[in-house]
Amino acid sequence: MRELKILAVVVALTLVTYWGVEPYAHSQMHPHVEPADFDFKDVDGLNGKTGDAANGKVLVTANCTACHSIEAEGFPKVMDDASSAAAYGVVPPDLSTAGKLYNADYLAAFIKDPIKASKVEHKFQDGRAHPMPGYGWMQEQEIADMVAYLQSIAPDEISNKQAFTDACQRCHGIKYADMLNGTMASFTPDENIKKYMGKIPPDLSQYIRSRGESYLTTFINNPQKHLEGTAMPRVGLTEESQDQVIRYMEEVGDSSKEKREELGPKFLIYLVIFAIFAWLWKAKQWRDMH
């Protein structure tokens, strides 16, 4: 009985200390932020218009393909990555999956005014221009048509890796995904991206551990929420694609998770059996003790 009382005191004190240095300390160091907004209610987007993909195709071909590749539709890259990074500051994204990755309202708002939609006004001041010009001068309907076209050419399913590659890899590397060949380095060379962003964007290999899923969920959705003034733009991923990106970061940064969770129950069952036998043996040994 006395032993149990001592154990109870030790457990209670341990729990209080744990609560203090983990949940409580974290709540003090990381202020609460609003949950992620995947509807992008604040943007000036489609405003309810539905687009015509056929007309959108004409507009996209005339306005976008001078800089953007659309590999799926046979528009190859205009230049190699190093040259386009030197020309624009950052490698322009391929648009094959844009209609799938990005929220339609966000996409429309981005085409109209990239700086405003991605919340990087603080970065483009004193005459600095965003590499992509705004298309706010177009008709609302034309913007909607282009969005409809991008959606019509996007695949129904993409892999987690593709979501990461298309949405993040222009600026971020994730080197642990391919240490051998280095294919998962960022597309934009370091010197260009440093000039464009102010510093080299971090490698994301361990971000699932260093930031954790809940931080990443609100951060990717709107980086300014956690890091006011950061150069990282809001990219406008849909809830589904953002989840795919985070899953991919988990596949790379916590690659043994599946194996661990598969082995876990078996291991615990073994330990329960061990504990039962250990207690029975203990009871036998102590039957004749004081």
Partner 1 sequence: MLPWGQMSYWAAMVITNLFGGVPVIGDQLVIWIRGDFNVADATLTRFFMLHVFLLPIVIMGIIGLHFYTLRIPHVNNQESEDIDFDAEAEKYLSGNTRESKVIPFWPVFISKDLAVLGIFLIFYFYLVFFHYNFAMDPVNFDPADPMVTPAHIYPEWYFLWSYEVLRGFFFDVGPVKAFDIGLIAFAFANVIFLVLPWLDRDPKILPAHKRPKFFIWFWILMVDLIILTVYGKLPPTGINAWVGFVVAMLFIILFLALPFITKADAKKRGDA
Site for partner 1 contains 15 (CB under 8 A): no
Site for partner 1 contains 156 (CB under 8 A): no
List, as one string, the DSSP characters of 87-133. HHSSPPPP-TTHHHHB-HHHHHHHHH-HHHHTT-GGGS-TT---SSP
Exactly one of 1, 4, 29, 62 binds partner 1 (CB under 8 A); which one? 29
Whole-angstrom distance, CA of residue 240 vs CA of residue 258 = 21
| Nearest distance in Å: CB 120, partner 1 | 21
Q: Cβ distance 107 to 93 under 8 Å? A: no
> CA distances (Å), 28 to each of 24, 25, 216, in order?
6, 5, 18
Site for partner 1 contains 1 (CB under 8 A): no
Mark the segment that binds partner 1 (CB under 8 A) among 56-64, 150-158, 184-192, 279-287.
Answer: 279-287
**Token pair belonging to 102:** 């990005």
Exactly one of 206, 217, 218, 224 binds partner 1 (CB under 8 A); which one? 206
**Token pair belonging to 135:** 């298309």
**Positive or negative: CA dihedral 104, 107, 111, 112:** positive
Measured from the CB atom, the residue of 125 and 256 that comes closer to partner 1 is 256
Exactly one of 55, 202, 217, 218 binds partner 1 (CB under 8 A); which one? 202
Binding site for partner 1 (CB under 8 A): 2, 13, 16-17, 20-22, 24-25, 28-29, 202, 206-207, 209-212, 254, 257, 260-261, 263-264, 267-268, 271-272, 274-276, 278-279, 281-282, 284-286, 288-290
